[in-house]
Amino acid sequence: MTQIEVSFDAETLRKVLLGDKGAEVLLEKVMNEVLQAEMTEHLGAEPGEHTDDRRGYRNGSYERELTTRIGSLKLEVPRDRDGTFQTKLFERYQRSEKALVTTLMQMVLQGVSTRRVKKITTELCGREFSRQTVSNLTERLSEQVRAWAERPLEEEYPFLLADAMQLNIRHHEAVRSAMALIVVGISEDGYREILGLKIALRETGESWKELLQELKDRGLRRVELATSDAHEGLERALREAFPGCIWQRCQSHFRRNVIDKTPSDYQDRMHRLLDQILKADSQQEASQRLEEVSGELKDEAENALDVLEEGIFDATAVLALPEKYRERLRTTNMVERLIQEVRRREKVIRIFPNKTSAWRLVGALLAEKHEEWSTGRRYWTMDEFFQWRGRQTGDNTEDLQTESSNRILQPA
């Protein structure tokens, strides 16, 4: 690279010391020298220099404004006669512009008001961004979230996990509690994906039914097991949407339900008993272990025993699957952790101005996490699942093993 020598005349120094622009004048001078040095390197000759290696000639210059963190600079960009010169300085400028747009979108994503966005960008860049500009960026973000939320589901998703998080939204001039309904799936290739999101004013069976129908319309099929809490409407919606699928009642929620009905002085003992019952190798064994302690529980925690007996079958449904898949499908903890991550990033907002803004923010965060999951490490290999499903349906086991092997051989 050609070495750059920058000199400052008396007028430039006077502007720096006495004018109101200060460092802008120095930076403008340096960048103009950089542009001239780039042209010299491009042509292989200084202005007026005659050499055998010259690759062209200068042809004047044009003015271009460059916005930087310390203000707007007026630059004289040189031309060559053949029009082949392109400065690397503006490649960097273009990257900065993209980064600036991304930052603005991220600020909107994090719930910062448009007025605050305008103030911050003005301070950082010496340039004003209007409310309309930010609104346009917000609309662009909405389009990206919509494309993610409406994408076709072309694979099979044997396993689903569903849960909801509470949000505060302004609705009809009042702050109301609303719910973000979230569905996570594990694909036939063993990757986790976030399949769906719906913002509803209440968590009802009808709202879950609408979300699950949307997923089916997008292609969701062959669900073998779905894990959720014991919300009656959600359970019913899952069973109606996917007839014949196994419904697994979240063991974390189930455990809390049992403990809530247990006397405080017996809760430690109950936790140990629940560990023994829920970690059985089969539903038959779980029922047998419960039967063995039912006499003790009837004396010490009769109300808790009622909850246990009523829910033990659904809370151990996952035991029908191969052991490899049981631990992570026993609970909705995967979705709970996802919700905690979303909560950490959206809590600065506290109150969403409307349902659309909540959908846009939560959707963008989920889309970001979806990309991380679906392009990262494989969550599971699915060979044992295909073999299990083949035994359940009577499909040709050899064909299923070949299908499974082909999937495993694909790069994770």
Query: Which pair of tokens denotes residue 25?
Result: 């004048």
Query: Which pair of tokens denotes residue 199?
Result: 């913002």
Judge whether 91 and 32 are in contact, CB under 8 Å: no
> Chain-centre distance of CA 310, in angstroms?
37
Q: What is the pLDDT of residue 207?
A: 97
Q: What is the residue whose two structure tokens read 């699950």?
A: 212
Q: Are strands 246-249 and 225-228 parallel, antiparallel or unpaired?
A: parallel
pTM for the whole structure: 0.70
Burial class (CB in 10 A: 0-12, 13-18, 19+), 373: middle
Strand order in the sheet with 225-228: 192-200, 174-186, 159-171, 225-228, 246-249
CA distances from residue 62 to 59, 65, 171, 197, 218 in whole angstroms, order as listed? 10, 10, 54, 51, 53
Q: What is the pLDDT of residue 333?
A: 97
Q: What is the pLDDT of residue 246?
A: 97
Judge whether 38 and 89 are in contact, CB under 8 Å: yes
How far apart are alpha carbons 17 and 339 in whole angstroms? 54
Q: What is the pLDDT of residue 406?
A: 44
| Blockwise average pLDDT, block size 10, the chain, 412 residues | 50 52 63 82 86 88 73 83 81 55 55 59 54 66 89 96 94 89 97 97 96 97 96 95 96 96 96 95 96 95 96 96 96 96 77 85 88 91 94 63 42 37
**Total Cβ atoms within 10 A of residue 326:** 16
How far apart are alpha carbons 264 and 284 in whole angstroms? 29
Q: What is the pLDDT of residue 238?
A: 96
Q: What is the pLDDT of residue 300?
A: 95
Task: For residue range 315-362, list pLDDT tens digits in order.
Answer: 999 999 999 999 999 999 999 999 998 888 777 667 788 888 889 888
